[in-house]
Structure 1
Amino acid sequence: MPRLLWPLLGLLLLAGCASNKERPELTEVDQYREASESLESRNYLTAIDQLKELEARFPYGDFAEQAALDLIYAQYRAVDYPATVVAAQRFMRNYPAHPRMDYALYMRGLANFNMEKGLFDNMVSSDKSSKDMGAAKDAFRDFERLVNRFPDSEYAPDARSRMVHIRNQLARQELHVARYYARRGAIIASINRAQYVVKHYQQTPAVPEALAIMAKGYQRLKQPELAEKSRDVLALNWPDSKFLDNDKQVDLAWWPDEDDGLLSLLTFDLL
């Protein structure tokens, strides 16, 4: 028996060594080809690993710049928006004169634009105006930088459209805060928020209500001239506004009575 066991053990060891033998290291061309095939097959997580390995092995290779661009795309398609932003920033830092700089800016803007979207945002309408809009502001700056630096870029039209959407959302956020202050009885703070909308977010749908808030706020503060001025601007530019009644007087259905505002203030909006 011992004479038979030793050759058998030897064969098993040789088989184990053969199975553990690593495949030969790929050339830069072959490794980039594999990553490209993974992207084409929509295997984005695999592509991310392959592209990162390519960058680590060939940081100054012939495919380094294209791999960095592909990594931005792969991470975006993998819905890893923070990683997309980091990858785009790294690309812009490493290749500031690259002819695809507009693409990197656009992708960073898209990632920031989608950063706050929840799992069900694509299935139901979601109003983000009452939440923190930090990522949306970052996206606006990215898109603004894109259209200013590359006005003829193929990505510029979509960037401009998204900027309009972001401005509308930011204006609605200011209105949300203005309403909150008004309901709490903080009339001056409410007016200030409404003025900010009128000054910084012109041509957004939020402006008519902002003017109505200013008119009601000045009425509450016993400043009829300022209240009338706000009402006149509203009536002149939006004569059919839902915030004007049949007599062209400001009508805000949610505006609290003076007693209601005091009660809200004292009870921290619990009543």
Structure 2
Amino acid sequence: MPRLIWPLLAALLLGACANTPEESPERTEAAQYREAQDAMDSNNYLTAIDRLKELEARFPYGRYAEQAQLDLIYAHFRSQEYPETVVAAERFLRGYPAHPRLDYALYMRGLANFYMERGFFDSFMSTDKSSRDLSSARDAFEDFERLVTRFPDSEYAPDARSRMVFIRNEMARHELHAARYYARRGAYIAAINRAQYVVQHYQRTPMVPEALAIMVEGYERLERPELADKSRRALTESWPDSEYLDDDGEVNLAWWPSENKGLLSLLTFDLL
């Protein structure tokens, strides 16, 4: 019996080994990078992100490490994952401070910050963002400014400059929104300060004429005629055809609250 059992056990073991499927060889770095590229070419950016992160984990110092990080920035952006885009771009900027595509990383970080504050409905309609928190817009402005300063001849510099103009206008509009708020509530010093900030820091924006008009009205309410005249003179000399000037050259702000507030004004907190 023992002589029969041992050959039988050996045969069973050999059969089990024969039926065990062979493990597939691990994918090479190039093969895994191609998978990520195929996903990106198919606009399947979430899959591409997973593949790129796996590639980074398996081959942190491989030949595709730098390009994988650049692709990860783009994939996050196309997935509208703007905070993740900023983080990925910042990681690349710190890890490769002398990389030839540093301008691209700066530009993408600026774009991500630029779109960070956009709400869902902004994709379908034009909304006034002047009353929102503009911290992300300020970050975007700094990114674009850094780009055009360090890489003035970059292919991304023209678009960055255009976006900087847009952001400056938004920041000036934000200050005017606050100035109107204070003026409607009788806080004339606060309104003048906000308007003055626009005049001093956003001189090339379309909001300066209204800021000067607010200063004129505010100084008149505070009974400071010399300062009101100075602001009016700056408005009439630089913008003689301004919509905020009447035919006699006097400031006319349609929304400015009257001195004798009626019942409707009191009930609506000066909003109407």
Q: 1:17 to 1:264 in 2, by over 3 A?
A: farther
Task: Give TM-score, length-normalised by structure 1.
Answer: 0.89
Instruction: Give per-residue Cα distances to partners, 1:80-106, cap 9 Å, x unaligned.
Output: 000000000000011111110000000
Q: Which residue in 2 is equivalent to 1:61?
A: 62
Whether contact under 8 Å (1:58, 1:64) holds in the other structure is yes
* Number of equivalent positions: 258
Q: 1:174·1:193 contact (CA, 8 Å) conserved in 2? A: yes
Letter of the 1:38 counterpart: A
- Indicate the residue corresponding to 1:175 in structure 2: 176
Q: What's the counterpart of residue 227 of structure 1?
A: 228
1:158 aligns with 2:159: yes
1:251 Cα deviation after fit: 0.3
Query: 2-side partners of 1:41 and 1:266: how far apart?
Result: 58
Q: Say if 1:244 and 1:251, in contact at 8 Å, map to a contact too.
A: yes
Q: How far did residue 269 of structure 1 move? A: 5.2
Distance in 2, matches of 1:239 and 1:22, equals 82
Q: Which moved more, 1:237-246 or 1:252-261?
A: 252-261
Amino acid at match of 2:130: S
> Which structure 2 residues correspond to residues 166-205 of structure 1 after superposition, within 5 A?
166-205=167-206
TM-score normalised to structure 2 length:
0.89
| Residue identity matched to 1:244 | L
Tell me if structure 2 keeps the 8 A contact 1:48–1:71: yes
Per the TM alignment, residue 128 of structure 1 is displaced from its structure 2 partner at its CA by: 0.5
What are the within-5 Å matches in structure 2 for residues 66-215 of structure 1? 66-215=67-216
State the Cα distance separating 1:258 from its structure 2 match. 2.5
CA distance in 2, matches of 1:168, 1:194: 14
Tell me the distance in 1 between the aligned counterparts of 2:143 and 2:218.
36
Letter in 2 for 1:54: L
Whether contact under 8 Å (1:184, 1:265) holds in the other structure is no
Q: CA deviation at 1:119?
A: 1.6
- What is the match of residue 10 of structure 1? none
* 2:227 maps to amino acid: L
Contact 1:105 1:146 in 2 (8 A): yes
What is the CA-CA distance between 1:257 and the residue it aligns to?
1.6
Partner SS state of residue 199, structure 1: helix
Q: Which residue of 1 aligns with 2:25?
A: 24
1:260 deviation in Å? 3.1
Please say if residues 134 and 171 of structure 2, whose CA atoms lie closer than 8 Å, have aligned partners that are also in contact. Answer: yes
* Structure 2: unaligned runs, 5 residues or longer: 1-15
Q: CA RMSD in A?
A: 2.4
Paired AA for residue 45 in structure 1: L
Query: Aligned-pair distance for 1:122?
Result: 2.2
Q: CA deviation at 1:123?
A: 1.6
Q: Which residue of 1 aligns with 2:12?
A: none
- Percent identical among aligned pairs is 71
The separation in 2 between residues aligned to 1:211 and 1:203, in whole angstroms, is 13
Q: Distance in 2 between matches of 1:270 and 1:160?
A: 37
